[in-house]
Structure 1
Amino acid sequence: MILRLVQLFPARLRHAYNGAGTSLPIPPKLAALESTQDNARARQWISQFRATQIPKTASGVVLSFSRSSGPGGQNVNKVNTKATLRCAIAEDWIPLWANAALKRSPHYVASSQSIQIASTVFRSQAQNISDTLFKLHQVIIEAASAGIKNETSEEQKKHVEDLIKVAEARRRMEKTRRKDVKASRKPPRPE
């Protein structure tokens, strides 16, 4: 029976987001990512945050439940399986530099300055809770990664310089050709 359940549900939900012993990494206090050191610190925090799971007991996470809508027979009318999660974006474990991207997110609720995510995908309340926590995790990673500028490698810089040289040579050749065409149209000068 358990093996059958593991096969039915996606891999992302096999590990429940129950928060057992999970502490969220605190991001560096950066309002904006302006320098390469800021980008490096942000990348380090994102890699730590990816390795963790948001527990349902995390500060700022508020879960509410209601009846799901749509088909499902009598079970839909009796059981509160829909999970709705709200999380304020001012929490200390959410990076400051991600606030602008979070405010542009379709999950952002301006009146409460929070992120709201609902899930009715599964028939079980626990699985819908896990789904909302997973989605919140993904939204925060996406928002935090949006402001990071990647470093240009030396190989890529050289490639761009070569392209600029080729474009300049092509431009010069075209100018010379046009000059020769125009010169051939002029009558010869008397000597």
Structure 2
Amino acid sequence: MFKFGTILNEHIIRQVGRRFSSGHSKSLPIPPSIDVLEGPEDWAEARRWVSQFKVESIPRTLVQLSFSRSSGPGGQNVNKVNTKATVRCSTDAYWIPLWARAALIKSPQYVSSTKSLLITSTVYRSQSQNVDDCLTKLHALVLSAASSPIKNETSEETKKRVEGHQKAQKERNRKDKVQRSAVKQYRSGKGKGGWD
């Protein structure tokens, strides 16, 4: 029995294959087709994708680049050279996980009219360094959006430690209750040495 996600992934793989054969140098890992992370299996798949994506860098071929002159101080270079880099990337790109798109749409870099992420950089005097800076920012943004909904499973050691803390707290609560009860009995004259 075929799942829609399987068919979609096969379609994406064919597109990526075409991209490789058309001269593009490298591609990013394809995320699993999960809309919302809902359980340990989804978290595990998402975690695998994040670990693969973390070590990759976004190739320039997967984004739209544009350049303009930087504003502000910087001498003659600012007025002559288009060093400001702008990177635009669709939130529907095949390499952006479905579960991360809701967070990306809420980010300040999202442009709703084009349904894309827009990142600029004027940090460096070099155009190529500014492009690299934009791609680094985009990578960090996608990584953060993809990682935030992943819940880590609690280890057995942590579970046992929490259980121990809960038992100790119950015992402290019980002792406090016994002590308060004794004080109340004493005050009401029912305890030893009470009022005559």
Q: Under TM normalisation by the shorter chain, which class is it?
A: 0.7 to 0.9
Q: How many residues get paired?
A: 169
Question: Which residue matches 1:26?
Answer: 30
Question: Which residue matches 1:4?
Answer: none
* TM-score, reference length from structure 2: 0.82
SS in 2 for 1:167: helix
Give distance in 2, aligned partners of 1:153 and 1:49: 25
Give distance in 2, aligned partners of 1:145 and 1:170: 39
- Report 1:66-145 matches (<5 A): 66-145=68-147
Deviation at 1:188, TM superposition (A): 4.2
Q: Which has the higher contact order (CA 8 A, sep 6+)?
A: 1
Question: Which residue matches 2:40?
Answer: 36
Give distance in 2, aligned partners of 1:185 and 1:46: 64
RMSD: 1.5
Alignment gaps of 5+ in structure 1: 1-18
Are positions 1:53 and 2:80 aligned together? no
Deviation at 1:111, TM superposition (A): 2.2
Give distance in 1, aligned partners of 2:184 and 2:30: 68
SS in 2 for 1:57: helix
Give distance in 1, aligned partners of 2:159 and 2:100: 29
Is residue 68–residue 81 contact of structure 1 (8 Å, CA) maintained in 2? Answer: yes
| Residue identity opposite 1:77 in structure 2 | N
Give distance in 2, aligned partners of 1:158 and 1:109: 47
The structure whose residues are more often helix, as a share, is: 2
Q: Deviations over 1:150-181 (max 9, x none)?
A: 01000000011011101111111111111000
Deviation at 1:89, TM superposition (A): 0.6
Q: Deviations over 1:101-154 (max 9, x none)?
A: 112222122222211110000001011111101111111111100010001000
Give distance in 2, aligned partners of 1:56 and 1:77: 26
